[in-house]
């Protein structure tokens, strides 16, 4: 079954809003193993709409339309779809009564325009809208199913889940193959290095492997097809196992789990607490850690020590150390990590100090240099990197390495250093295109 998604509205084509409906609808279709082949959008313009409808009918089995069902004169989906396929427009008495009831419940007067929303192409099945005035409808055009839904995301989403998906599922019956997919999140290897490492997995019969960069991470999306769900799941499990075996701890999570959520889960499981001392990341590591609900059970707090005086007063970094080595140094990172660990009485103390730029570099300490340290009861690990990135990405990558250190420390595996990042393709190379 081939699907097309068609969204309608001048506001889309003028770039006034980002169209989130297409991603929602495609994701839902994928849940039924239906592939979306085409996304299209046109203005509230009858000739363009007719062209889009006719083309969709010629190339898709299911067409999901959103938008153009409102009460205003530029809402033209019903009448234009009728014209496109030579159908009459008919008032649906039940839909009209429903719209009247909606206005009565809201205590508002119903305008003549709203009555237009009860007109549908002849042969349509009306799809009720329990939370808005615009009903949707299903029209079968010589075997291609047009499902027309409102453009307002929450109304469209509810209609899709309650009215549209069950009808598509019924049509599908047991025909067609089954698809299972998942998302593996990796940190520490660039997209082209991953591609090279997994080239034999990427296209092997009924399995495909997609890549996606979400700086500073790279995501893998293995997808398996089979004639039954069990078989598809078994294939997916097998390919995930192969990937995890090849990449080891470079894979940090599956699905929606973020790195900070993984870190939180591991800290909680081990009953460990953490405090952070940040210079160049300026609060980003703390902010990520506290993005996770319930983080107060393991995150004790942090110090953003931008000024040297703050490093001395709040973290106990000796003035002599700062004078001798400077704030961007291994000695300072170690003192910050150990200081914050002691001040907060935490099991782990994590520190970042570096030059995110664009200014502040010297030949000895270039822009991009960053020192990290992780203090634990058994001692302090420190290392440094040079990331030739803009300020915002420098901070993001530094924070991600810092969080990944905590994850790796909890797992008891090697912490990422510059050589590992480089060997694996730059970790998360700037500017890999999708």
Backbone Cα Rg of the chain: 28
Residues 78-97 that bind its own copies (CB under 8 A): none
307 is a contact residue toward its own copies (CB under 8 A): yes
Closer residue to its own copies, CB minimum distance, 16 or 142: 16
Instruction: Using alpha carbons, list the distances in angstroms from residue 173 to 64, 139, 169, 223.
Output: 19, 19, 6, 22
Nearer to its own copies, 296 or 411 (CB): 296
Total number of residues that touch its own copies (CB under 8 A): 125
303 in contact with its own copies (CB under 8 A): yes
Q: Is 178 in the site for its own copies (CB under 8 A)?
A: no
**Would you call 341 helix, strand, or coil by DSSP?**
helix
- Is residue 203 close enough to count as binding its own copies by CB under 8 A? yes
280: its two tokens = 């160049």
| 16 makes contact with its own copies (CB under 8 A) | yes
Per CB under 8 A, 225 contacts its own copies: no
Q: Give the Cα separation of 421 and 348 in Å (integer).
A: 23
Q: What minimum distance in Å lies between the beta carbon of 412 and its own copies?
A: 26
- Residue 144 neighbours by CB under 8 Å, 6+ apart: 56, 57, 60, 61, 62, 63
Distance CA 301, CA 247 (A): 33
Nearer to its own copies, 69 or 409 (CB): 69
List the x/- string, 129-158, binding to its own copies by CB under 8 A: x-xxxx---------------xxxxxx---
For its own copies, the binding residues in 415-434 under the rule CB under 8 A are: 422, 425-426, 429-434
Nearer to its own copies, 262 or 285 (CB): 285
Q: How far is CA 75 from CA 69, 99, 217, 321, in A?
A: 5, 16, 42, 70
What is the secondary structure of 138-182 as a DSSP string?
EEEETTEEEEEE-SSHHHHHHHIIIIIHHHHHHHHTT-S-EEEE-
- Give whichever of 67 and 121 is closer to its own copies, judged by the CB atom: 67
Q: How far is the CB of 350 from its own copies (least distance, A)?
A: 12
Q: Which range touches its own copies (CB under 8 A), out of 98-106, 168-176, 225-233, 404-412?
A: 98-106
Reported in sequence order, the residue ranges of 363-420 that DSSP labels E, i.e. its strands, are 369-376, 379-386
Q: Of residues 100, 244, 381, 391, which one binds its own copies by CB under 8 A?
A: 391
Q: Is 238 an interacting residue with respect to its own copies (CB under 8 A)?
A: no
């Amino acid at each position: 079954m081939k699907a097309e998604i068609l969204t309608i509205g001048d506001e889309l084509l003028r770039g006034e809003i980002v169209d989130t409906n297409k991603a929602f609808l495609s994701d839902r279709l994928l849940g039924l193993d239906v592939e979306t082949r085409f996304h299209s959008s046109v203005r509230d313009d009858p000739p363009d709409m007719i062209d889009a409808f006719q083309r969709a009918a010629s190339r898709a089995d299911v067409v999901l339309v959103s938008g153009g069902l409102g009460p205003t004169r530029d809402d033209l989906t019903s009448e234009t779809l009728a014209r496109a396929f030579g159908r009459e427009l008919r008032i649906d008495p039940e839909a009209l009564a429903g719209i009247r009831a909606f206005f009565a419940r809201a205590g508002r007067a119903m305008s003549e325009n709203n009555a237009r929303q009860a007109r549908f192409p002849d042969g349509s099945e009306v799809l009720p809208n329990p939370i808005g005035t615009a009903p949707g409808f299903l029209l079968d055009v010589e075997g291609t199913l047009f499902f027309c839904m409102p453009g307002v995301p929450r109304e469209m989403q509810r209609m899709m889940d309650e009215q549209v998906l069950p009808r598509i599922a019924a049509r599908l019956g047991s025909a067609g193959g089954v698809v299972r997919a998942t998302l593996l999140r990796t940190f520490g290897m660039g997209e082209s290095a991953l591609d090279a490492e997994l080239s034999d997995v990427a296209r092997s019969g009924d399995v495909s492997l997609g890549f996606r960069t979400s700086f500073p991470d790279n995501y893998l999306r293995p997808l398996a097809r089979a004639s039954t769900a069990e078989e598809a799941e078994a294939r997916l499990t097998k390919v995930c196992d192969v990937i995890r075996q090849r990449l080891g701890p470079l894979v940090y999570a599956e699905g929606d789990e973020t790195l900070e959520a993984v870190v939180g889960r591991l800290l909680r499981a081990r009953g460990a607490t953490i405090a952070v001392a940040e210079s160049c990341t300026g609060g980003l590591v703390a902010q990520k850690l506290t993005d996770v609900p319930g983080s107060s059970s393991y995150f004790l707090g942090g110090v953003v020590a931008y000024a040297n005086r703050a490093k001395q007063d709040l973290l106990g970094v000796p003035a002599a150390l700062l004078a001798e080595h400077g704030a961007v140094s291994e000695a300072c990172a170690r003192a910050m990590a150990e200081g914050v660990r002691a001040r907060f009485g935490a099991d782990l103390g994590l520190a970042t100090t570096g030059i995110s730029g664009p200014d502040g570099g010297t030949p000895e300490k270039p822009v991009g240099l960053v020192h990290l340290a992780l203090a634990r009861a058994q001692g302090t690990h420190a290392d440094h990197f040079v990331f030739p990135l803009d300020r915002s990405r420098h901070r993001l990558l530094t924070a991600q390495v810092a969080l990944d250190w905590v994850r790796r420390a909890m797992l008891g595996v090697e912490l990422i250093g510059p050589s590992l990042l480089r060997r694996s393709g730059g970790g998360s190379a700037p500017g890999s295109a999708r």
